[in-house]
């Protein structure tokens, strides 16, 4: 065992908190207007029907209904709100 601390360990000791990105409401879950569905960096998931997108790419519900994720194009995803009938 080293009897001195060493240069590496004295330069460590900082870590930033996570930014809490990701899917907040999953497919099949019920959303009301204003509910955040996805927090993301860039358009990983694109907005579909009855959802809006904020300037930080947050996707949120515009109407009441069920969340639906779908694949479109070759490698893209989109999220919609299917209104309650």
For residues 79 and 84, the model is more confident at 79
pLDDT above 90: residue 10: no
Domain boundaries of the chain, sorted by first residue: 21-66
Q: Which residues contact 82 (CB under 8 A, 6 or more apart)?
A: 50, 65, 66, 68
CATH of the domain spanning 21-66: 2.40.50.100
The per-residue pLDDT for 37 is 98
Digit-coded pLDDT (tens) for 15-72: 999 999 999 999 999 999 999 999 999 999 999 999 999 999 999 999 999 999 999 9
Calpha distance 55→21 (Å, rounded):
15
pLDDT above 90: residue 2: no
pLDDT above 80: residue 8: no
pLDDT above 90: residue 5: no
């Amino acid at each position: 065992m080293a009897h001195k601390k060493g240069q590496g360990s004295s330069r460590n000791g900082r870590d930033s908190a996570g930014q809490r990105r990701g899917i907040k409401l999953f497919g099949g879950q019920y959303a009301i207007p204003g509910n955040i569905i996805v927090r993301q960096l860039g358009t990983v998931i694109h907005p579909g029907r009855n959802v809006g997108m904020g300037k930080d790419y947050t996707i949120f519900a515009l109407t009441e209904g069920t969340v639906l994720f779908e694949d479109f194009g070759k490698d893209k995803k989109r999220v919609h709100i299917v209104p309650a009938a």
